[in-house]
Amino acid sequence: ASSNESVYRATTTAPVNIAVIKYWGKRDTTLNLPTNSSLSVTLSQRSLRTLTTASCSGNFPAEDTLNLNGKPQDIRSSKRTLACISSLRAHRKALEDADSSLPALSKFPLRIVSENNFPTAAGLASSAAGFAALVRAVADLYQLPQSPKELSRIARQGSGSACRSLMGGYVAWRTGELADGSDSLAEEVAPASHWPEMCALVLVVSAEKKDVPSTEGMQTTVGTSALFAERAQNVVPQRMAAIETAIRDRNFPDFAEITMRDSNTFHATCLDSWPPIFYMNDVSRAAVRLVHDINRVVGRTVAAYTFDAGPNAVIYYEDKDSELVAGTVKAILGPNTEGWDGAFYDRIANVT
């Protein structure tokens, strides 16, 4: 078959990441440039991941297509998807221009098929894994030489948090200073193997779609909350430095306190928005109380909660405290709790 008739294909998976220093607010909504740096932990792909296949062929119908969880998506109305694809295509075109023996994949329509093994848009970072998988699948299909850090610049334009899902372990997204966003990139702070005892218990309090989508919620906060600027300018920079030190030293009590405080500060800026935004619910608050109770009764900090743009809790703890933390949380906040939808249990692992 000529290169025009062949079907080229690449399949990849990408993990979910859960921020311990939260990204909330954009200084540039087109390029997805954040107001503050953030830091996350990449979860193992055993229970939360996106699986994506990208293919292209001169024989495909003329338009690029995207299918998400079995449903065709309108790619033309998604500026973010278009931005990622056109950037990847331009990188491929540069390779083809430099080497005329390469098949002209940049000219072929793309077919992207993606599937999450967890509820989409329930505040479980589905857009992070989704755009990371899309970018990596197409980059693999195009055999691009770009590093994960370079690809993070592209994934960021799909969804801010997606730039952190291209690496395993402990990942920082540096806000950057340049107006074109070229220095707003993710980088690995430490591989998962540096602190493999870290575990995450993901409590799916509700698998319903969240009330206020992140992009809309964060720009309401940017525009209306006085607390927001205080957090971005005076709180997050110190916390970023402190949590990187805690990770370097594998200091769980420090890591945990910074994580819990930053989740609380983020949700405080949501409450301070106008009109106020509520992501946590009664079950979320029960989880907060329970973690503080466990730490108090044990007499040391063994567990840390964090909440994203939804009611689900992620609880970090170390392997050795698994029974104490995961056992207690499951026993007390189990399926009999009102408002409970089910639970995922996870363990963090490196992925790259």
Q: Which residues bind ligand 2P0 (CB under 6 A)?
A: 19, 22-24, 32, 38, 127-128, 159-161, 214-215, 308-309
Q: How far is the CB of 105 from ligand 2P0 (least distance, A)?
A: 27
Q: How far is the CB of 112 from ligand 2P0 (least distance, A)?
A: 18
What is the rounded radius of gyration, in angstroms, for the C-alpha atoms of the chain? 21
Rounded to 5°, the CA angle 60-66-71 comes to 115
As a dihedral over the C-alpha atoms of residue 26, residue 32, residue 37, residue 38, rounded to 10 degrees, the angle is 100
Q: Is the Cβ of residue 30 or residue 233 nearer to ligand 2P0 in the bound state? A: 30
* Crossing angle between the packed helical segments 126-141 and 148-158, to the nearest 10 degrees: 130
Q: How far is the CB of 56 from ligand 2P0 (least distance, A)?
A: 25
Closest CB to ligand 2P0 belongs to which residue?
160
Name the token pair of 335: 């399926």
Q: Is the Cβ of residue 159 or residue 220 nearer to ligand 2P0 in the bound state? A: 159
Q: How far is the CB of 332 from ligand 2P0 (least distance, A)?
A: 25
Q: How far is the CB of 23 from ligand 2P0 (least distance, A)?
A: 3
Rounded to 5°, the CA angle 202-204-207 comes to 140
Residues 6+ apart with CB under 8 A from 232: 25, 35, 36
Q: How far is the CB of 132 from ligand 2P0 (least distance, A)?
A: 11
Burial of 54 (0-12, 13-18, 19+ CB in 10 A): buried
**CB 214 within 8 Å of CB 309:** yes
* Gap between the Cα atoms of 93 and 6, Å rounded: 18
Residue identified by tokens 């859960």 is 18
Sheet bearing 8-15, strands edge to edge? 8-15, 49-56, 110-116, 65-68, 71-73
* Gap between the Cα atoms of 36 and 23, Å rounded: 7
Q: Is the Cβ of residue 23 or residue 252 nearer to ligand 2P0 in the bound state? A: 23
Q: How far is the CB of 98 from ligand 2P0 (least distance, A)?
A: 33
| Coil, helix or strand at residue 301 | coil
Q: Is the Cβ of residue 161 or residue 328 nearer to ligand 2P0 in the bound state? A: 161
* Gap between the Cα atoms of 201 and 178, Å rounded: 37
Q: How far is the CB of 100 from ligand 2P0 (least distance, A)?
A: 38
Q: Is the Cβ of residue 56 or residue 171 nearer to ligand 2P0 in the bound state? A: 171
